[in-house]
Homo-oligomer: A and B are copies of this chain.
Amino acid sequence: MALVVLKFGGSSVGDAERIRAVADRVARARRIGNDVVVVVSAMGKTTDSLLRLAGDVSSVQPGREVDMLLTSGERISMALVCMALAELGIEASSFTGSQAGIITDTDHTKAKILEIRPKRLQDALNSGIVPVVAGFQGVSTANDITTLGRGGSDTTAVALAAALGADRCEIYTDVPGVFSTDPRIVPEARRLNSVSFEEMMEIAANGGRVLALRSVEFARNHHVPIYVCSSFTWEPGTWVVEEDPSMEEPVVSAVTCNAAQAKVTLTGVPDQPGVAAKLFRALADSLVNIDMIVQNTSMAGFTDISFTIPQDELSVSIAATEQLAPTIGASTVLVDDQIAQVSIIGAGMKTHPGVTATMFEALSAAMINIEMISTSPIRLSCVVRRDQADEAVRVLHRAFELEKSD
């Protein structure tokens, strides 16, 4: 008998009817002989409306209280899922993050899981009860309620699957799996039957929105196979699994686009050891996530340093950079918030050197200028003008023939 963790996102528990549909799916998973643990997010847009309410009440929002506020959301959805299961004759019990033994650090609103003590879940499973666990939340080492931040419910599900030794973690969402690119940009985009953990991490880190990066990292580190599929249809989904070295791998699996990027350039930087270190230490201290970094060839002892960042970290990045500029003798800080990063991702790129040339030729033929480049063993990313990003995705999807089946 397999043990599976089923995770349902906000749109999958969005109203009473969707919640009954979740109960049906859980019942079916049980009927075919599985032990089941359910993880749920808050219903629909609950989190957004709670945050709006908080904004109406106060401009000061301590993280501890934001977490207390937001964790009300999953209580509602998980209690309702248990009731819907009860109506189907399936005994179920809801568990908060704390009750499920999800111990985190004390970093409110973006806590990290330190340890999972799933004793109550195991007791429930041993008694034939379906545990329904609140995603996104835990209890800190200081015994306060915490939330795990963006993608937290996926992380809860994968972490529980690892802690319980589950056979797999099924993530139910509003799209039927992982696609070769965003079907809203490229209608011929194809659902992938499977991707490796490494490919999925690159997809998640570079604009793919199906799974949160941290949950995929957790799955890879703990060898938890993930199956991503739609809770709205019965179509097959996408497996996210260990790379199988015995199989020939697709050279390129997916094209992603991250349009919410901005570029900051510091000009006239003295070309001396330690200068870049000072800059990126200052940015790190401001908790900015640097993406690409490019340093120009030095001219007469001076150089330019450019880096890209998520757009919502632009103002804090500008502040940190402008504060630092005089102390390192840099002349000006330039900002460009009209960029996008387009990436091709594929485990087979490691052994196929022609990929870079194909990418550059395709973009060049479409008159799309490449402003910055970065690479990983299984990814190649280019910064382009934002208004050319969709076209870049389309030409790359066609150039690598991603509309064709595996």
Contacts and interface: CB of A to CB of B under 8 A. Distances in A.
Contact of A87 (B19, B59, B71): B59
Contacts of A84: 57-58
B94 A65 contact: yes
Interface of A is mostly: helix
B83 A16 contact: no
B69 A86 contact: no
B72 A86 contact: no
Interface residues of A, number: 38
A78 interface: yes
A353 interface: no
Contact of A56 (B16, B72, B75): B16
Contacts of A50: 76
Interface in A43-74: 50, 53-54, 56-62, 64-66, 68-69, 71-73
Contacts of A87: 58-60
A164 interface: no
A134 to B, nearest CB: 9
21 contacts: A16-B56, A20-B58, A53-B76, A54-B80, A54-B83, A57-B80, A58-B80, A58-B83, A58-B86, A60-B87, A61-B86, A64-B93, A65-B86, A65-B94, A68-B75, A68-B78, A68-B79, A68-B82, A71-B75, A72-B73, A75-B75
Contacts of A69: 75-76, 79-80
Contacts of A83: 54, 57-58, 60-62, 65
